[in-house]
Structure 1
Amino acid sequence: MGKRPAAIDLASWLLWIQVLAGLVVSVLVVIFREDLREAWSPGASGDSTVQPLEFVPVILVLYGVIALTTLTLIPMMRSGHNWSRHALAMIEVGILIATIATVRTMPPAVFRGLIIVAAVLAAVTLVFIWHPESRRHCRELEAAADGADDEVEVVDLSDAEDPATSS
């Protein structure tokens, strides 16, 4: 097996950066929760019984699930599992869609810049995940693993004599 391609290493680094950036954004969501509540809650009238949305727990759980899934899949992609590369690509597509949808809600100015940076980072990461070198890396390692499986000799014991009954 040769050296791991630069596209895989770059995608891994970008994924780690995204996990850390997601942590920063999650902390900012907690800090600026009132500003976000004003931006995302429906307009309140004096006699309305509609309660403001409580979105902070949802965002924190969503971050935790995506971050842990990403951190679990990165080593698998690096070791050549093509399915993990596709799973990471789907996470990146989800982040891209979520960032575009969030920008349309006109969040506070603090978040607009971070959201745009996250969208660009997700798009660039997607390019490296789907780069031909990444694909070739996964295919070569899968082929090598299949070759190693073919070398294992299977012994059929159904026709063998039972040592306990042969005496």
Structure 2
Amino acid sequence: MDRPTDTDTGTDAGTATGTGTVPRSVDLAIRAAWSLVGVLGLTVAVMAVFNDQVVGAWADHHEGAREAFDQGGRLGLERAGFATPSFLPVAATMIVVGAMIVWVLASFLRRGYRWGQLGLFATVLGCVYASIALGFVLGPPPVFVAVAVLSLLVEGVTVVCLWHPDTRAHVRGPWVGGPGPGAGAASAGSFVAAEEPTEGPVSHSG
């Protein structure tokens, strides 16, 4: 897989300066994306501590479940025939999945691939949807509202950094291996130069 290069020097986009450094906005975007993984871990920890309240919030949205939960908690729900979802294992699995996604996409963003930027942006949009749904729409315990607000703040910082002018200048071309900025102008210049007649007399054979 070819990596995007600087059109003037032929160096890799991530090492065009010779030091391997990236713009500060890129570094902040990656840090913010990892912070989202941390917020997800915090959500799982809160979910483990307030597990009964989470189940109670779920029962509020199912007819007859609230009464059964108030009478006997989880056992009351089971006796009434309700199968309560296992939120904790799913959330713990999402930490691993989210960390892997961020690790891969952040690695490619650091190297200057635009699809790394777009992939992280899509991931953040999914997190925004989840934060609003779980923090405000489903009526969870108040502590989850606070976690959702924190998550939305981190997601906002991530979006701003991903679309910062320095970040957009760092990525090269629309997709992997795409031409860097000015590649079209360079190609056009080469074409014009090739079409210009050479100086001096032209010799004809034969």
TM-score tier, shorter chain, comes to 0.7 to 0.9
Shift of 1:131: 1.9
User: What residue is the counterpart of 1:161 in the other structure?
Assistant: none
Residue 113 of structure 1 aligns with an amino acid whose one-letter code is: A
**SS of structure 2 residue aligned to 1:29:** helix
Gaps of 5+ in 1: 148-167
Within the candidate set 86, 90, 106, 1:54 is matched to 86
For 2:39 and 2:86, locate their aligned partners in 1 and report how far apart those are by CA, in whole Å: 22
Residue 92 of structure 1 aligns with an amino acid whose one-letter code is: V
**SS of structure 1 residue aligned to 2:171:** helix
1:37-48 equivalent positions in 2, closer than 5 A: 37-41=55-59, 42=62, 43-44=64-65, 45=67, 48=80
**TM-score (normalised: structure 1):** 0.77
Matched, 1:36 2:54: yes
User: What residue is the counterpart of 1:97 in the other structure?
Assistant: 129
User: What residue is the counterpart of 1:17 in the other structure?
Assistant: 35
For 1:4 and 1:143, locate their aligned partners in 2 and report how far apart those are by CA, in whole Å: 19
Residue 86 of structure 1 aligns with an amino acid whose one-letter code is: L
Percent sequence identity is 26
Matched, 1:65 2:66: no
For 1:136 and 1:11, locate their aligned partners in 2 and report how far apart those are by CA, in whole Å: 14
**SS of structure 2 residue aligned to 1:139:** coil
The question of whether the paired residues in 2 share the 8 Å contact of 1:96 and 1:122 is answered with: yes
For 2:149 and 2:83, locate their aligned partners in 1 and report how far apart those are by CA, in whole Å: 30
**SS of structure 1 residue aligned to 2:104:** helix
State the 4+ residue runs in structure 1 displaced beyond 3 angstroms.
Answer: 45-48, 140-144
Please tell me the root mean square deviation across aligned C-alpha atoms, in Å. 2.2
The question of whether the paired residues in 2 share the 8 Å contact of 1:80 and 1:142 is answered with: no
**SS of structure 2 residue aligned to 1:96:** helix
Shift of 1:130: 1.8
Residue 88 of structure 1 aligns with an amino acid whose one-letter code is: L
User: What residue is the counterpart of 1:160 in the other structure?
Assistant: none
Structure with larger Rg: 2
Bigger drift between 20-29 and 110-119 goes to 20-29
Within the candidate set 141, 152, 171, 1:108 is matched to 141
Shift of 1:100: 0.8
For 1:106 and 1:91, locate their aligned partners in 2 and report how far apart those are by CA, in whole Å: 24
Residue 38 of structure 2 aligns with an amino acid whose one-letter code is: L
Q: How many residues of Structure 1 are paired with residues of Structure 2 in the alignment?
A: 145
Matched, 1:129 2:162: yes
The question of whether the paired residues in 1 share the 8 Å contact of 2:34 and 2:99 is answered with: no
For 1:77 and 1:142, locate their aligned partners in 2 and report how far apart those are by CA, in whole Å: 14
**TM-score (normalised: structure 2):** 0.63
For 2:178 and 2:137, locate their aligned partners in 1 and report how far apart those are by CA, in whole Å: 42
Matched, 1:8 2:26: yes
